Structure 1
């Protein structure tokens, strides 16, 4: 009995060992097959990999997309439909009359809209007062509103909207509409958080007796007036907005000397001022000089301004960082005005001079005194030549971007860029007949990191005679703004680290579940 029992136990032990070896071999074979298979074989083809991504991360991805991609993603599945609706904060609607029946359902789906644009063309009947009232009542989180071409809106409708949106609206932009001063007064009176107001081509201001626009709650910080016939009616609003930071006035009729004198006596904290195509003289610039905290100044196409007015600006506005002057070749602004600015405003970082006949005397002083000057543009100046360019290259040690347009420079002056301006990144040359591709190639040989943009046609030959073989970095003049697709790509690249970190969480979350 003992021997039989021992033989049985030994046999069972051997069987167990054989089973364990077979199981280990099968396990190793499964692991090898799993590692060699492609991901499409390891997972179900219909598996949704975004299911492991939290709604917050998915919403962040949606926010980086353009409008078309946003709309297409919302049709993928129910989850994407709801996530896209809750994360969308911007919405643009074609504001025709028929939209009134769809507004409740639109804002029931998109319940977190903070920025809304309502646009309509001239050939279509736009939305009316009742529709705008529904917008204010259903869009409870609205902070920024843009209205363009809605000619059916009246002062009564704007007032009703201002009452229902009084606690949220911070920015209003209206253009090519038919309401007038009464509607604007209602907005500034009822909307206690309103800080940004833009008015462009408002037809209602031209009809009926003139009505001044008061400061209302006095919360306006940025005011933009464009192409208005009675822009002077906004004088009380300017003078009464004690926290006014930025004023932009473009192509608006009237004498602005007197109004700027009154406004400068009432407010003192203005930081940014744009004046373009206005009836403005040195008297108005003297009024501007009272704003001692001014940092950004645009004086564009104001033919009555001269060196005397710029000298007054230099005495009062010594904190200027950005200066843009367009003299329209009137010969009223020259060395004296630029010299005064260069000697007093030493914090200048960006200077753009168009139609201003500056010489080496004023430009040299600016290059010496303004040590932080990073961007300089000289356009349509008959006095800017190789001497002035040499003065800039030898003294502007902080300069990063240089633009020369319609100036009398040549290849000899361009060669000075090889050793001057050590921080220079980009040079743009336009309509300078004395500059050829030879100097551009020469610069690329002696300074490979510098990007040169030249508007003339490149030669057919790859290399010019006497120049060492090199692959030059030449770019055409860049457009002023990015395309929508480029903006999306830029946003995705900028936030790539955050998205990558979110994607790295997928395996960990899958293991936990």
Structure 2
């Protein structure tokens, strides 16, 4: 990418003002495009840095050093995401440059015992964040365990425009969170999941400081936060729209306080073993705007609570029920009758919910677009017939360990839900070629298909699926009857494939890889583990044309040697991950 030149003159740089070039950079849709633009000339480098609004920093290397360097180069950053689970290498020259400049010891987070640099953001990094990014609006500090209240207090004092703060897994104390409440009066979103050192004191202080602006609050595994903190939320946070609670120390009293004091709640996610039907009844009575409701591992409420939700939450669109052992078909019937706007439903491990409850959803919820049934042993083989008849807009179906669901059910979906785009099936052993063939023949918009460990699915199914030319994701791991014929059909019919998992397919050989290389040039990730018949020859054919490959798993592939691995690495300039064993 270069400025247009005519007669030896740079027409772009001489005619266009800075503001217009910066606006062009802002409209670029990817980081590689930004990086390419910055290499054109020094002016574009400076302007592109001005247009950057977000940064993502990982663990490897020294996050403190990264923050210090980046804050001087990208002055208009508004969103910083630091995740110490991400493995992003620090270029050697950056570390060397910092030492050459004679940086102080505060630029590094070193172990006092051996002086070795670690990969944890420290309070020094927080100070650099505050000084360097005064326009910061969103900050994510995920598992930054070395950050303390002192660092958070320093940042809060400088970044008073902060609107979103994620402290997941940080060991900050009450003082730091209280300082955010005192300084960041525009704060809207706060995530305190796994901040184990916090107590009621910090939330009381925070709620009194940012109560008027706070809209979203997440708390998990904070054992010292009790009902007292939630009562402060009720008192000050009248505009709260989203709350996620995962806590054994929270009881009815605290959740009731929020539900009754924050009638504008739209999102409520609860995993609180001490909460009962009383809370759900209050939600039904007080929170008519609830659109997303997720209930996890509840053993102290019954169909009575879901009946209240069905009666009162008419705008409910997304419902998750996970390990709610005492709910029955009557609970789903109440939801189906009362919540006609339902678009997403997940039922996971609710062993007393069976066929009748799901049939009522099919009959009464025509707007359903996504359905997930996981570990539902009581759901019968004809349960999806009503879904197929009544839910014409269904786009995603997930089935895991539903032992009674077979081909008839999948055929019903295929015939009734022709807009289906995603189908994920795992360990549903009654589903075979017939059902998947029906999907391939009727659901031509399919982009995402996973058939993991479905023993009865073979080449015939994939030959039919090859008619879905928009298919991008395919996982058929453990489908032992699939061989070369099925994969060759996919290679010839589905040129848009970017992800392919064919692990544990014993009948797959080099011919399939050769066809994939010819027909699927956009392939980025492939999993070949435990494919015994694949050799270096097949790999060579695959990577000859699949130069966009970024990830290749070859665990326990006995026919692949070090030469084959070397071929993958040398032929794919974008390769990032190669997994090899035995």
Partners of 2:474 and 2:501 within 8 A in 1: yes
Query: Higher mean Cα deviation, 382-391 or 106-115?
Result: 106-115
1:311 to 1:462, Cα distance in 2 relative to 1, 3 A = closer
Query: Structure 1 residue 229 and structure 2 residue 274: aligned?
Result: yes
**What per-residue deviation string (whole Å, max 9, x for no partner) do you get for residues 50-99 of structure 1?**
69845xx5354251443679854653498548654124331538898994
CA contact (8 A) 1:174 1:202 kept: no
SS of aligned partner of 1:270? coil
C-alpha separation between the residues in 2 aligned to 1:52 and 1:395? 51
1:171 to 216, 221, 224: 216
**Match of 2:68, SS?**
coil
Residue 313 in 1 paired to residue 306 in 2? no
Q: CA deviation at 1:440?
A: 1.9
Task: Report the CA distance shift for 1:461/1:282 in structure 2 as closer, same or farther (over 3 A).
Answer: closer
Measure the CA separation in 2 of the matches of 1:117 and 1:150.
Answer: 10
1:456 aligns with 2:449: no
Is 1:436 the counterpart of 2:427 in the alignment?
A: no
**How many angstroms does 1:321 deviate by?**
0.7
Pairing 1:351–2:400 present: no
Per-residue CA deviations over 1:432-462 (Å, capped at 9, x if unaligned) read: 2222355324542565555642112688963
- The residue that corresponds to 2:235 in the other structure is 189
- Counterparts of 1:276-425 in structure 2, within 5 Å, are 276-279=322-325, 280-289=327-336, 290-328=338-376, 330=377, 332-356=378-402, 357-417=404-464, 420-425=467-472
Instruction: After TM superposition, give the deviation of residue 150 of structure 1 in Å.
Output: 4.1
Shift of 1:375: 1.2
Alignment correspondent of 1:261? 307
CA contact (8 A) 1:393 1:420 kept: yes
Quote the Cα distance in structure 2 between the aligned partners of 1:378 and 1:163.
48
Contact (CA 8 Å) 2:495, 2:519: kept in 1 or not? yes
Contact residue 169 and residue 191 of structure 1 kept, 8 A = yes
The 3 A distance-change label for structure 1 pair 100 and 430 is: closer
**Is the 2:324–2:349 Cα contact (8 Å) retained in structure 1?**
yes
Counterpart Cα distance in 2 of 1:262 and 1:460: 53
Q: Does 1:92 align with 2:141?
A: yes
Task: Report the Cα distance in structure 2 between the residues aligned to 1:323 and 1:77, rounded to whole angstroms.
Answer: 44
Larger radius of gyration: 1
More helix by share: 1
Q: Which runs of 5+ in 2 are unaligned?
A: 1-40, 77-131, 529-549, 551-582
Contact 1:359 1:384 survives alignment (8 Å): yes
Match of 2:57 in 1: 66
Displacement of 1:316: 1.8
Q: Which runs of 5+ in 1 are unaligned?
A: 1-47, 479-485, 487-513
Instruction: Say yes or no: does 1:75 pair with 2:68.
Output: yes
Instruction: Decide whether the 8 Å contact of 1:59 with 1:87 is kept in 2.
Output: no
Equivalent residue of 2:324, what SS?
A: coil
The aligned residue for residue 494 of structure 1 is none
Residues 411, 141 of structure 1: CA spacing in aligned structure 2 closer, same or farther, 3 A cutoff? same
Distance 1:275 1:93, change over 3 A: closer
- Which residue of the other structure, out of 208, 226, 247, is the alignment partner of 2:293? 247
Q: What do you get for the CA RMSD once the two structures are aligned?
A: 3.6
**CA shift in 2, pair 1:179/1:391, >3 Å:** same
Query: C-alpha displacement at 1:239, in angstroms?
Result: 3.5
Query: What is the CA-CA distance between 1:347 and the residue it aligns to?
Result: 1.2
| SS of residue matched to 1:75 | helix
User: 2:228 and 2:284 mapped to 1: Cα distance?
Assistant: 17
- Give the 3-state SS of the residue equivalent to 2:476 in structure 1: strand
How far 1:275 moved relative to its partner?
0.9
Q: 2-side partners of 1:120 and 1:399: how far apart?
A: 38
**TM-score scaled by structure 2?**
0.64
Report the Cα distance in structure 2 between the residues aligned to 1:412 and 1:93, rounded to whole angstroms: 44
Higher relative contact order (CA 8 A, sep 6+): 1
Q: 1:398 to 1:258 in 2, by over 3 A?
A: same
Q: Is the 8 A contact 1:351 1:377 kept in 2?
A: yes
1:113 counterpart = 2:104: no
Q: Does 1:218 align with 2:251?
A: no
Contact residue 370 and residue 395 of structure 2 kept, 8 A: yes
CA offset at residue 192 of structure 1? 2.5
Q: What SS class does the counterpart of residue 193 from structure 1 fall into? A: coil
CA shift digits 1:256-314 (9 cap, x unpaired): 31111122212211111111111221011111112001011111111111111111111
Which position in structure 1 is the counterpart of 2:12? none
Stretch moving more, 66-75 or 362-371: 66-75
CA offset digits 1:345-387 (Å, max 9, x no partner): 1111111122233333332222122121111122211211122
What's the secondary structure of 1:215's corresponding residue? Answer: helix
TM-score by length of 1: 0.72
Q: What SS does structure 2 have at the residue aligned with 1:381?
A: coil
